[in-house]
Amino acid sequence: MTFLVRSLILFLLLYPCGAAIADDYPARPITVIVPFSAGGPGDVIARILGNAMSATLKQSIVIENVVGAGGTLGTNRVAKAAPDGYTLLLMHVGQATAPALYAKLPFDPVGDFAPIGLVTDVPMILVARPNYPAKDLGELITQIRKAGDKVTFGNVGLGSASQLCGLMFMSATDTKLTPIYYKGGGPALNDVIAGHIDVYCDPATGPTPYIQSNTIKGYAITSKTRVATLPEVPTSTESGVPEFDVTTWYGLYAPKGTPKPVIDHLVAALQAALRDPALISRFAELSMTPVESERATPEALEAFLKAEIGKWKRIIKAAGIDPQ
């Protein structure tokens, strides 16, 4: 049997199945895996997005937190899941940094996934425990330099947004911080609030309400302009550290091989969700904005992910970090 004949038979066997899946999709609830702990930024974004997308899909969306190994455990779960549109991944910039940080990944961040679209770009905020004595970023940097490596820094692990933000902060300010590791952003933020660690760099989603209530101190936001929800928090550029510039982004993925009609359903639901006034309002409360519709597409996410992989490989190599 020739290769062409075998391929034709395989296509005829699989296509009706794919078409049948697409015709009644979704016929049951969809699970979105967030590879970090409940209460963290990714978890919050997934729940807001899931509520909005379910209105279009006419099915509930269940958020499952699969914690561990810098997000790679949950990501690998989706890579190995059935490609039927019922198991999705919401992952941040860690999807792009993983190839430079891990010597042996159990998945290919590009090849093992069917991209659906970008969701949002989130600025990072450098915060500190409520009784930290520095009044602004300049004083904070001075005190960290004087303390040597005694200042503790919350870190959600290899490849996490908090780790990348910490690396960039230390590089930009020529300082040294002692990392304290957590399984997710929620526990790390709780320890900042309780005063158990000194500083933490988190996507704006998490710290915003605590800065607003003066529960923790906000020192700098890494966006180009101040955010409306935190007008009193200066940008890193305004504070004299323009090199401290890092933004985390989130994308939605399905396993490789998910039928195109199913992906099309999900893209339509994603784009409708990002236009939903309730989602826009909730994102704004957390210092976020949804991406433009042209970025909420498989093509845009795939191109962006490939570019980010190249960018972070250069940054991580320059930081002297070897893959683990």
Predicted confidence (pLDDT) per residue in 234-289, tens digit: 999 999 999 998 888 999 999 999 999 999 999 999 999 999 999 999 999 888 89
pLDDT recorded at residue 14:
52
pLDDT recorded at residue 31:
98
Looking at residues 180-205, what average pLDDT do you find? 91
pLDDT value at 159 more than 80: no
pLDDT recorded at residue 7:
46
pTM, whole model, 2 decimals? 0.80
pLDDT recorded at residue 185:
81
Q: Which residues contact 119 (CB under 8 A, 6 or more apart)?
A: 45, 49, 90, 249, 250, 251, 252, 270, 274, 290, 291, 296
Contact 174, 28 (CB under 8 A): no
pLDDT value at 56 more than 80: yes
Q: Give the residue with greater pLDDT, 69 vs 240.
A: 240
Looking at residues 73-90, what average pLDDT do you find? 98
Measured CA to CA in angstroms, residue 281 lies from 80, 111, 214, 229 at distances of: 35, 35, 22, 11
When the pLDDT of each residue in the chain is averaged and rounded to a whole number, the result is: 90
Q: Give the residue with greater pLDDT, 159 vs 45.
A: 45
pLDDT recorded at residue 59:
97
Looking at residues 144-165, what average pLDDT do you find? 89
β-strand pairing of 152-155 with 178-181? parallel
Task: Report the range of poorest mean pLDDT among 33-47, 112-126, 129-143, 308-322.
Answer: 308-322
Q: Which of 146, 141, 144, 168 is closest to 155 using CA atoms? A: 168
pLDDT value at 8 more than 60: no
Looking at residues 205-223, what average pLDDT do you find? 93
d(CA 203, CA 216): 15
pLDDT recorded at residue 5:
47
